[in-house]
Amino acid sequence: SLGLRLEECFREVDELPVGTASMAQVHRAVTLSGEEVVLKIRKPGIEAKIEADLRLMRKIAEIAEAQSPEMRRYQPVEIMQEFERSLTRELDFSVEARNADRMRENLRELDFIKVPKIYWQWTSEDLNVQEFIRGIPSKKIDEIDATGGDRKQIARRGARAIWKMMLEDGFFHADPHPGNFIILPGNRIAMLDFGMVGRLTPTRRDQLIRLIRCVLMQESENATMVLVEWTGGRYVNREALNAEVSSL
């Protein structure tokens, strides 16, 4: 991937991964200039395995849509196509690196959010080299408490970042499990892994804002109107839907 010997780029590389998943694994390293980094390395041969799985899933979706009127309502073939596009983008680590750069720029005004720096001189389709961030994994609640972390402030800051990503930028982290967030001193939050991101059009963002307002103000009929807009013109029993929304 580098086109060079490892020792020409890094002073040391830890051969034991600090994390591993289905598509890649992560190793700590130190650059020749002494900077701590992580190498996210795509597993060899994973593309062929994923393509085989996708072929099977495409066939299942086609059969489901052809055989079941009930399943057809959920457009399994279209869902499968979207899933395939997302997974293909996730396989290219240079896409993830560009997502990280864009996210860092979007969130630059939030000084409590950190997105790791990308080392583009070593990043490619199957290798992502980024800044190593030292902190507490977000799922280690006891450790956060023991070091004086303020859970409520962390939660408020996380929510603020999410609102900004979704409702202002229309570009958001779409894989927000605990392993992708690290708590830093001062109740700051580091966000990791931008292989999967979501995008919202201005129209969809406006609908979300309207729906959130309706929930807060308990305006069931206006909330129902937004939900009907999301049906794509399919028939909906509005009276029954409104009754359910009112109950909720």
175 is catalytic: yes
Residue partners of 117: CB distance under 8 A and separation at least 6:
130, 131
Count of C-beta atoms within a 10 Å radius of residue 111: 9
What's the rounded Cα separation, in Å, for the pair 167 and 131? 28
Nearest partner of 57 among 24, 79, 33, 29, judged by Cα: 79
> Judging by DSSP bridges, how do beta strands 19-20 and 10-13 pair with one another?
unpaired
Closest CA to 87 of 50, 33, 46: 50
* Token pair 């399994």: residue: 76
Residue of 145, 150, 175, 206 with catalytic role = 175
The residues annotated as belonging to the active site are: 175
